[in-house]
Amino acid sequence: MSGTELSRVRTEFRLRPPEPIVYAQEPVPGRIGTVSGFFFGFAFGLGGIRSALLGKLTDVTSINFVYHACAFLPVVGILSAFLPNLNPPKTAATR
């Protein structure tokens, strides 16, 4: 397996943290299944749209171009760790 294929496999099968789902369930404690259903439906819907767009890009360019482009997607996720914290932790003096 080449490096590009290995990156693609890691990108497609990475585990996503469940924190956004937990945060979304807090405002509606009696509708946990509904919120989870919305999240998973949204995720699968975006996955379908993404695969259609990548298929069109493959038709226009080549499969190697799309593999190389997708290989850099984990870098975007790593760079997101350096985004600024919009809600800094409160100190004892500001409470």
DSSP at 9: H
**Would you say the C-alpha torsion 27, 30, 34, 36 has a positive or negative sign?**
positive
Greatest Cα-to-Cα distance within the chain, rounded to the nearest angstrom = 59
Count the domains in the chain.
1
**Per-residue confidence at 40, pLDDT binned at 50, 70, 90?**
confident
Tokens of 6: 């290995």
54-88 pLDDT tens trace: 999 999 999 999 999 999 888 888 888 787 777 77
- Give me 73's structure tokens: 């997607």
Instruction: Reply yes or no on whether the pLDDT at 17 is more than 70.
Output: no
- What is the pLDDT, as a whole number, of residue 77? 80
Domain enclosing residue 59, as ranges: 3-94
